[in-house]
Amino acid sequence: MNKAKAWRPHEMPTLLINRLARALLKPTDERLREVGISSSQLPVLVALKDGGKRTQKELADLANVEQPSMAQLLARMERDRLIAREASSTDRRSSLIFLTDRARQLLEPGRAVLRDIDQNVCAALSKEEKEVLVSLLQRLMASVTGEGND
């Protein structure tokens, strides 16, 4: 078989990244659940962490998910008292979503979990290797999303 045509998924960075992301999802969710949040909530928590208020559409765009998916996520977060809503002063049809005091209290414990997982997973890398990996992943993310680093 021609080497150029050989199927070598273990040498394809995008497939390796995908497998790693899936492998990290379960233990990350388990650890975050102990804090009272989930990894699916992270885009909303990050977007609202500084006390900002955003519409459901803005949050869906930021999280790169469809509106119905975001609506379901926000309904669960509201049920769990992580977010609240207030009427928009500029658009009567929409509401602004913001974090509750309860959610803000969970941010630092959630960050601690994420830092711990990152430290444990990246322990196999030197400081320099981790810096190179972060730089490469940021470049790949920018090429896929068309956005800069966040």
C-alpha span between 128 and 10 (Å, rounded): 23
Q: What is the pLDDT of residues 2-14, one digit of tens each?
A: 566 788 888 889 9
pLDDT at 20: 95
CA–CA distance from 37 to each of 67, 80, 100 (Å)?
A: 21, 9, 13
pTM over 0.95: no
Average pLDDT, rounded, for the chain: 91
Least Cα distance to 95 among 40, 53, 45 occurs for: 53
* pLDDT value of residue 93: 83
The answer to whether 47 and 82 have CB atoms below 8 angstroms apart is: no
- For residue 149, is pLDDT > 60? no
- Extended beta strands in the chain, E state: 83-87, 95-99
The contacts of residue 21 (CB under 8 Å, 6+ apart) are none
Please, which residues bridge with residue 93 across strands?
A: none
pLDDT in tens, 101-134: 999 999 999 999 999 999 999 999 999 999 999 9
Residue 86: strand pairing partners: 96
pLDDT tens, position by position, 22-76:
999 999 999 999 999 999 999 999 999 999 999 999 999 999 899 999 999 999 9
Tell me the per-residue pLDDT of 74-86, one tens digit each, with 9 for 90 and over.
999 999 999 999 9
